[in-house]
Chain A
Amino acid sequence: MSERPEGTEAVAPGRGAQSEFLVDNDDALAALVNLIAVIGDNEYFLGRRVSEWADAGPLLESTAACAAITQDKLGHSRAIYPLLEELPWPKAPTGLQGEIDRARRYSVSFLDDPLPSWSNVVAALALVGPAVNVVLEAVENSRYEALARRAHRILDEERLTSAYAEGLVRQIAYEERGRKLLQERVNELLPEMLCWFGPEGEFGIEALKAEGLTSMGNEEMRQRYLDRIAPLLQGCGIEVPVERNESEGRWEYGELPWKEWNQLQRRLERS
C-alpha cells in the first residue's frame, strides 16, 4: 500500500462519513445542491441509456464497451448522489436507483427515452459525456473537498471513455450514411448541450464561483466544451453551427433556444 495520508474523504454508497458541509451563502448552497443533482442524473441516465445497447451494439466490441461504460457511469452517479444527503438543504433531490424513483429529472432531455439508434448512442457519448466532464473539471479544485475528490476520480476514469467516444465518432462518420445520421443527431442535441452550461453570468454559478465552489463561469465552460467537441466533429465532416473567432480567441455560436430552457432542471423543454 502506498504511504499516502489516511483518507479523510467522505461518503460511500450506503455508508458515509455523514459529515455536514456548511456554506454560509444560501444562493451558493442551492446552486451546489442543483449542480450535484445535475451531475448525478446525467451520469445516471447516460449509463442507463447506454446499458440498453449492452446487448445490441453494431459490433461485439461495441456491445461489450456499452456494458463497461454503463458500469462506470452508474458507479459515478452512486458516488455523487450521497453528497446530496450531506448538504444542509431541505428537500434536496434524492439519488436515483431506478428510472422512475423521482418525477423531476435533472438530466438533458436527449436522455429521457431509450436511444432509438446507434447514432443516438454515439451522439450521447460524444456530446453529453464531455459536457459533464467540463463541469467536473470546474469543481475539481472546489473547496467542497468531498465533491472535488470525486470529480478528480471520475475524470481519471473518464479518460478511456472519452477516447473511445472520439473513436466512435470517427468510425460512424467515415461512411456517408453514418455521417448523415450523426449530423442529424448533432443538429438535435447540440443546442441543448450549449444551453446546458447556462446563460452567461448566471446567478447560481456566480455564487458558486464567489464561494470557491467552482472555478469556471458559464461561458468559460461552454467555450471549453466547444474547444473539445467542435474540432473533432468538424474534422469528421460534421457541420457544427459555430465559428472560431481567432481574434477574440472564442467560439461564436449564434442564438441559443433560451425560451425552451429549464434552468432548474438544466434541460430543454421539448414541445
Chain B
Amino acid sequence: MREVMRTVTTEEVRDALREVLDPEYPISLVDLGLIRGIEVVGNRADIKLTYTCMGCPAMDMIQEDVEERLLQMDGIDKVEIEVVWPTWSKNDITPLGKKQLKQVGVV
C-alpha cells in the first residue's frame, strides 16, 4: 500500500518553533517575535525570520536550529528560511516572553 505523508499545519510548525530558544535569552524565537511568516507547501516549511538587530552574530546558529527542529517533524523534509527586515522592538515580544525575560532579570 502506498504510504501517504501527513500534511503539517502552520500552527504545528509554530508550536515546534516554540521549542527553539534564542541563543542569548531563554525564550523561544516565537516569543521573541522573530518568526514573521510560516507557510507549509507540501512537505516544505517556508519560514520568514528576522533578528533583534541587523548585526546579530548568531544568525547562522539560529537558522540551523530552526532547520534542525523542523526537519524532526513528521511530514516536513525541507525547510526554506528567508530573512526579512521589518522593524523589531520589545513590543514584538509576546506577554509570555516578557514574563520569562522578567524571571531572568531582563526587561
Contacts and interface: CB of A to CB of B under 8 A. Distances in A.
B55 A75 contact: yes
Contacts of A10: 82, 84
A12 interface: yes
Interface stretch (A153-161, A167-175, A260-268): A153-161
A250 interface: no
A6 B53 contact: no
A79 B56 contact: no
A15 interface: yes
A12 B94 CA distance: 24
B87 A71 contact: no
A150 B37 CA distance: 18
A17 B36 contact: no
B25 interface: no
A156 to B, nearest CB: 5
A202 to B, nearest CB: 28
A74 B83 contact: no
A1 B35 contact: yes
B48 interface: yes
Given A2-B91, A75-B56, A157-B54, A13 B83 contact: yes
Interface residues of A, number: 30
A17 B59 contact: no
A71 to B, nearest CB: 4
Contact of A153 (B39, B54, B63, B82): B54
Contacts of B82: 7, 10-12, 15-17
B81 A75 contact: no
A165 to B, nearest CB: 17
Of A15, A70, A76, chain B has the most CB atoms within 10 Å of the CB of A15
Contact of A7 (B30, B37, B94): B37
Given A1-B92, A2-B33, A2-B92, A72 B86 contact: no
Interface of B: 30-31, 33, 35-39, 48-50, 53-57, 59, 63, 80-88, 91-92, 94
Report the 5 A-B pairs with minimum CB-CB distance, sorted nearest first. Answer: A12-B83, A75-B55, A75-B54, A6-B37, A71-B55
19 contacts: A2-B91, A2-B92, A4-B36, A6-B36, A7-B37, A7-B86, A8-B84, A12-B82, A15-B80, A72-B55, A73-B55, A75-B56, A78-B55, A79-B85, A149-B84, A150-B85, A153-B85, A153-B86, A157-B53
Given A7-B50, A15-B83, 12 more contacts: A12-B49, A12-B81, A12-B84, A16-B83, A17-B82, A72-B54, A76-B55, A149-B84, A150-B85, A153-B54, A153-B87, A156-B87
